[in-house]
Amino acid sequence: MKIKINWGTGVVIAMVLFMIFILQFVYRTLANDKYEHQLVSEDYYKDELYYQQEIDKMNNASKLEQNTTLERTKEGFLITFPSKMDVTKIMGNIYFQRPSNDKLDFEQDIKLTDNRIVINHDNLVSGKWKVKIDWKYNDEEYMLKEDVFY
Protein backbone atom coordinates (compact mmCIF):
# COMPACT_ATOMS: atom_id res chain seq x y z
CA MET A 1 0.00 0.00 0.00
CA LYS A 2 1.34 3.36 -1.02
CA ILE A 3 0.82 6.38 1.28
CA LYS A 4 0.21 9.64 -0.50
CA ILE A 5 1.00 12.91 1.27
CA ASN A 6 -0.15 16.07 -0.39
CA TRP A 7 1.44 19.50 0.31
CA GLY A 8 -1.17 20.50 2.93
CA THR A 9 -0.52 17.38 5.02
CA GLY A 10 3.24 18.00 4.68
CA VAL A 11 2.89 21.56 6.00
CA VAL A 12 0.86 20.37 9.01
CA ILE A 13 3.39 17.61 9.79
CA ALA A 14 6.27 20.12 9.53
CA MET A 15 4.50 22.56 11.87
CA VAL A 16 3.78 19.86 14.45
CA LEU A 17 7.38 18.62 14.36
CA PHE A 18 8.67 22.19 14.77
CA MET A 19 6.37 22.80 17.76
CA ILE A 20 7.55 19.56 19.39
CA PHE A 21 11.14 20.65 18.77
CA ILE A 22 10.61 24.04 20.45
CA LEU A 23 8.54 22.65 23.34
CA GLN A 24 11.23 20.11 24.26
CA PHE A 25 13.68 23.01 24.77
CA VAL A 26 11.15 24.83 26.96
CA TYR A 27 10.59 21.68 29.00
CA ARG A 28 14.32 21.03 29.44
CA THR A 29 14.92 24.61 30.58
CA LEU A 30 12.11 24.60 33.13
CA ALA A 31 12.70 21.09 34.45
CA ASN A 32 16.48 21.23 34.75
CA ASP A 33 17.76 22.58 38.09
CA LYS A 34 21.07 23.73 36.64
CA TYR A 35 19.28 26.66 34.97
CA GLU A 36 18.56 29.21 37.67
CA HIS A 37 15.38 31.25 37.29
CA GLN A 38 15.67 34.39 39.35
CA LEU A 39 14.22 37.85 39.40
CA VAL A 40 16.54 40.83 39.49
CA SER A 41 15.11 41.65 42.90
CA GLU A 42 13.51 39.31 45.41
CA ASP A 43 11.05 42.01 46.47
CA TYR A 44 10.21 43.23 42.98
CA TYR A 45 6.70 44.50 43.71
CA LYS A 46 7.76 46.18 46.94
CA ASP A 47 10.59 47.93 45.08
CA GLU A 48 8.14 49.35 42.54
CA LEU A 49 6.39 51.33 45.28
CA TYR A 50 9.58 53.32 45.89
CA TYR A 51 10.23 54.08 42.23
CA GLN A 52 8.78 57.63 42.41
CA GLN A 53 11.16 58.46 45.25
CA GLU A 54 14.05 57.29 43.07
CA ILE A 55 12.85 59.51 40.22
CA ASP A 56 12.78 62.50 42.58
CA LYS A 57 16.32 61.75 43.79
CA MET A 58 17.61 61.44 40.22
CA ASN A 59 15.94 64.76 39.32
CA ASN A 60 17.65 66.40 42.31
CA ALA A 61 21.00 65.04 41.11
CA SER A 62 20.45 66.28 37.56
CA LYS A 63 19.90 69.83 38.89
CA LEU A 64 23.38 69.93 40.45
CA GLU A 65 26.07 71.97 38.69
CA GLN A 66 28.42 69.00 38.91
CA ASN A 67 26.75 65.60 39.20
CA THR A 68 28.32 62.43 40.56
CA THR A 69 30.46 60.65 37.96
CA LEU A 70 31.59 57.06 37.62
CA GLU A 71 34.60 56.02 35.56
CA ARG A 72 36.85 53.00 35.22
CA THR A 73 40.50 53.43 36.22
CA LYS A 74 43.48 51.13 36.80
CA GLU A 75 42.58 50.82 40.49
CA GLY A 76 38.88 50.08 39.90
CA PHE A 77 35.82 52.28 39.55
CA LEU A 78 36.37 55.89 40.55
CA ILE A 79 33.28 57.67 41.87
CA THR A 80 33.58 61.45 42.05
CA PHE A 81 31.13 63.55 44.04
CA PRO A 82 30.54 67.29 43.49
CA SER A 83 33.64 69.20 44.60
CA LYS A 84 31.72 72.18 46.03
CA MET A 85 30.10 70.04 48.75
CA ASP A 86 31.49 69.39 52.23
CA VAL A 87 32.49 65.72 52.06
CA THR A 88 31.87 65.15 55.77
CA LYS A 89 28.15 65.77 55.20
CA ILE A 90 27.80 63.28 52.33
CA MET A 91 26.27 59.99 53.49
CA GLY A 92 24.78 57.07 51.64
CA ASN A 93 25.38 53.74 49.92
CA ILE A 94 26.78 52.43 46.68
CA TYR A 95 25.09 49.30 45.31
CA PHE A 96 26.76 47.10 42.70
CA GLN A 97 24.30 44.64 41.19
CA ARG A 98 25.24 41.89 38.77
CA PRO A 99 22.11 41.04 36.69
CA SER A 100 23.41 37.60 35.70
CA ASN A 101 24.37 36.46 39.22
CA ASP A 102 22.88 37.89 42.40
CA LYS A 103 25.57 36.21 44.51
CA LEU A 104 28.08 38.79 43.24
CA ASP A 105 25.99 41.79 44.36
CA PHE A 106 27.50 43.97 47.05
CA GLU A 107 26.94 47.24 48.85
CA GLN A 108 29.41 49.77 50.22
CA ASP A 109 28.84 52.70 52.56
CA ILE A 110 30.03 56.10 51.43
CA LYS A 111 32.85 57.28 53.69
CA LEU A 112 34.76 60.15 52.12
CA THR A 113 37.97 61.96 53.00
CA ASP A 114 37.93 63.85 49.72
CA ASN A 115 35.28 64.01 47.00
CA ARG A 116 36.34 60.68 45.45
CA ILE A 117 36.00 57.01 46.35
CA VAL A 118 37.51 54.00 44.56
CA ILE A 119 35.85 50.58 44.35
CA ASN A 120 38.72 48.06 44.04
CA HIS A 121 39.03 45.39 41.36
CA ASP A 122 38.87 42.67 44.04
CA ASN A 123 35.07 42.94 44.30
CA LEU A 124 34.36 42.99 40.57
CA VAL A 125 34.30 40.39 37.81
CA SER A 126 34.09 41.06 34.08
CA GLY A 127 30.69 41.83 32.63
CA LYS A 128 27.73 44.13 33.06
CA TRP A 129 27.05 45.81 36.41
CA LYS A 130 24.16 48.02 37.50
CA VAL A 131 25.49 50.72 39.79
CA LYS A 132 23.20 52.73 42.06
CA ILE A 133 24.66 55.53 44.17
CA ASP A 134 22.09 56.66 46.73
CA TRP A 135 23.39 59.59 48.78
CA LYS A 136 22.27 62.44 50.98
CA TYR A 137 23.70 65.94 51.56
CA ASN A 138 22.12 68.49 53.94
CA ASP A 139 18.81 66.56 54.09
CA GLU A 140 18.56 66.58 50.28
CA GLU A 141 18.59 63.13 48.66
CA TYR A 142 20.32 62.31 45.36
CA MET A 143 20.74 59.22 43.21
CA LEU A 144 22.78 58.12 40.22
CA LYS A 145 21.94 54.93 38.34
CA GLU A 146 24.24 53.69 35.62
CA ASP A 147 24.94 50.47 33.75
CA VAL A 148 28.66 49.83 33.37
CA PHE A 149 30.75 47.13 31.76
CA TYR A 150 33.83 45.98 33.61
What is this structure's pTM? 0.66
Domains recognised in the chain with CATH numbers: 44-149 (2.60.40)
Distance CA 78, CA 150 (A): 12
| Per-residue pLDDT, 41 | 65
Distance CA 106, CA 76 (A): 15
**Digits of tens for pLDDT over the chain (150 positions)?**
687 889 999 999 999 999 999 999 888 887 776 666 565 666 777 777 788 888 889 998 888 888 888 888 888 888 888 888 888 888 999 998 888 777 888 898 888 888 888 888 777 888 888 999 998 988 899 999 988 887
